[in-house]
Amino acid sequence: MNDKILITGASGHLGGGVLANLVNLLPPSQLVAAGRNQDALARFSNTGVDIRTMDFDDAGSIEAALADVGTLYIVPTAAPDRSEQHRRVIDIAARSGVKHVLYSGVIHHDEHGFGPAIADHQQTERHMATSGLQHTFIRNGIYLDAIPMLLGNALESGVFAYPTAPHGVSWAARADLAEATARIIADPKHHGKVHQLSLTHAVDYVALASILSTLSGRSVIHQHIAPQAYEQVLVKVGVPAGLAGFLAGLADAMAQGVVLQPTHELAHILGREPLGMADVLKADLARQ
């Protein structure tokens, strides 16, 4: 009988957080932790969940992992060919006994042309929609936890150089996204829908710089740089060309307001105010 719920990326931050919340919402014997890194999956070894190896590049491992699974939650990978990987997983799910697939993409408008950071999610969602499986789209705000990666040397130089997003960006703490996603998976009333999970208000980079200044005690200002120039800066400091293009595409999409749909849904599902930018950055700075 296909009654298991399998969580991919359970070895990582988002999927691991989803599963850590799910074990408090559903019987652990119903849950499966999947990933490639068995050492990282070992954190679930005493929880009663089943632990399985599943590599999106290995069809055999996907088929074996899905044998008794009825609900599949997919965490996107960061591979350059991830939309192909996701397509492979969805196709195999559709011909095994899986009935429902959920996927965590990113908040986006439905227009095309905003680089792979957005297009990969659009392609995966389209494939889910035509798969014949019940499908639930979870569209996440940009991780507040990712801000340190965007800052470059802003804390030392006092300048956060990044393409301006005039109306701000929809952000969310990854821990909150994980908790809300677990609630979506566990409760059928959330299934078959599009969920937009973010803070209730957009935050722009001027406000971000101001929060950084307050928390660090050092003056930081935001300065606009064109997306193409930003890409060249990344390449100059050694970021591989493919990743630089990906990050510049994301910056461009945010600048154009594609990742801008603040909603109350995250707060509603959590039943509390989500963590804000200052909460997450404060914890980040304390760790540095």
Comparison of 85 and 122: residue with beta carbon closer to ligand NAP: 85
Non-local CB neighbours of 108 within 8 Å, separated by 6+ positions: 114, 118, 121, 122, 139, 253, 258, 259
In angstroms, what is the minimal distance from the CB of 149 to ligand NAP? 8
In angstroms, what is the minimal distance from the CB of 17 to ligand NAP? 8
Comparison of 40 and 221: residue with beta carbon closer to ligand NAP: 40
Comparison of 44 and 56: residue with beta carbon closer to ligand NAP: 56
In angstroms, what is the minimal distance from the CB of 64 to ligand NAP? 13
Tally of CA atoms within 13 A in the half-sphere of 23 that contains its CB: 18
In angstroms, what is the minimal distance from the CB of 58 to ligand NAP? 8
Q: Which residues bind ligand NAP (CB under 6 A)?
A: 8-9, 11-15, 35-37, 40, 54-57, 75-79, 85, 106, 140, 142-143, 146, 174
Comparison of 12 and 158: residue with beta carbon closer to ligand NAP: 12
Q: Let me know: does 171 contact 198? Beta carbons within 8 Å.
A: yes
Comparison of 11 and 71: residue with beta carbon closer to ligand NAP: 11
In angstroms, what is the minimal distance from the CB of 143 to ligand NAP? 4
Query: Cβ-count burial of 75 within 10 angstroms (0-12 exposed, 13-18 middle, 19+ buried)?
Result: buried
In angstroms, what is the minimal distance from the CB of 142 to ligand NAP? 4
Residue whose beta carbon is closest to ligand NAP: 12
Provide the token pair at 109: 């408008």
Q: Let me know: does 71 contact 100? Beta carbons within 8 Å.
A: yes
Specify the residue for token string 């120039």.
229
Comparison of 13 and 221: residue with beta carbon closer to ligand NAP: 13
